[in-house]
Amino acid sequence: MAIDAGAELSIDVVVPTYNGWELTRTCLEHLQRQTVPHSVIVADNASTDRTPERLRRSFSDARVVELAANRGFAVACNRGVEAGHGDVVVLVNNDVECPPDFLERLVAPIREHPRLGSVAAVLMQADGRTIDSVGLTADRTLAGFPRLRGHSPAEAHSVAPVLAGPAGAAGAYRRVAWEQVGGLDERVFGYGEDLELALRLRAAGWQTALAREAVAVHLGSASFRHRSPFQRYHGGFARGYFLRRYGVLRSSAVVRAILTEAIVVVGDALLSRDLAAMRGRIAGWRAAAGLDRRPAPPRDATDRELTLGESLRLRRRIYAS
């Protein structure tokens, strides 16, 4: 659906939370200073630190959606989106700090381009000098990576690698596009669901873009302890699940996919001295049994120039960060 270039966009900002009240408080304080009108919807995954109570006391304008249990990122985001009606949905992690013009700059491209389904932001690491992500990219096996992680801000405008879509930590979506494809896949608890949504949007004919001037700081790993067994299990689950949903092992990328996953699983086991990554992949593969295969994304949604070696280096950079 096209939006009149002269019309004001209505914006819902959905913030998924699970504990981390101080991060949430700071995030919402930044959102209060935005230069465009918007509604804030906090979808809480059964926090144990009284987050909903504190929200109602300190941020009475925010709508609070309470889940009865911690059901993961995808479910929280979907319930938050369902609670709103804005033309544009912006996902913002509670560990993201947005300058006052962030929302205005992030949503602006959607007004100009009627087939634009999503917009990526430039996210910086906590030091403010290093890129955390400029959206997401995917190789031919549909393995996803934060674009330009570890690079300097001067490289944020680079057209390579190919932009698949926004990172879930902070990105904008046209509501009609989100609803058309069904939002995030709720079978995945955490990790990879933002890339998979990006690929589904592209397969449905929606385009994506980068808002180069929409820059925020992503503190990172606020919900899951970095490289914990829990984190690596769910990362593995998502990978196994999506490999099967997209039939990657029945495609021309089968050899590369098997080799890549073998290297990653063995390396993770040696480094972490457990089998969390492997167990997650097996569980994810089994969870996709019997489900309809997802349509392959268009060729221009993935970066065919990313070699096996480059993909492995990108994974190593994620592990090290």
The pLDDT score that the predictor gives to residue 14 is 98
DSSP state of 134: E
Residue 6 has pLDDT above 80, yes or no: no
Contact 36, 11 (CB under 8 A): yes
**What is the C-alpha to C-alpha distance for residues 228 and 226, in angstroms, rounded to an integer?**
6
pLDDT > 70 in the chain, percent: 95
Q: What is the pTM of this model?
A: 0.94
Cα–Cα distance for residue pair 194/200, rounded to 1 Å: 10
Give the angle subtended at the CA of 41 by the CAs of 237 and 5, to the nearest 5°: 100
Give tens-digit pLDDT for 227-267: 789 999 999 999 999 999 999 999 999 999 999 999 999 99
Among the listed residues 229, 226, 260, the one whose alpha carbon sits nearest the alpha carbon of residue 243: 260
> Do 36 and 160 reside in the same domain of the chain?
yes
Q: Is residue 147 part of a domain?
A: yes
Domain-ending residue, one of 218, 247, 275: 218
Q: Looking at residue 12, what is its pLDDT?
A: 98
pLDDT value of residue 73: 96
- If asked whether residues 208 and 235 sit together in one domain, one would say no
Closest CA to 91 of 25, 41, 163: 41
Whether 258 and 137 map to the same domain: the answer is: no
Q: What is the mean pLDDT of residues 13-22?
A: 97
Domain carrying residue 148 = 11-218
Instruction: List, for residues 27-38, the tens digit of each pLDDT value.
Output: 999 999 999 999
Q: Please work out, in degrees rounded to the nearest 5, the angle formed at the alpha carbon of residue 153 by the alpha carbons of 151 and 155.
A: 65
Torsion of CA 172, 101, 97, 154, to 10 degrees: 90
Tell me: do 60 and 202 sit in the same domain. Answer: yes
Tell me the CA distances in angstroms from 31 to 63, 84, 110, one per residue in order. Answer: 14, 17, 20
CB 183 within 8 A of CB 80: no
Q: Does residue 223 fall inside a structural domain?
A: no
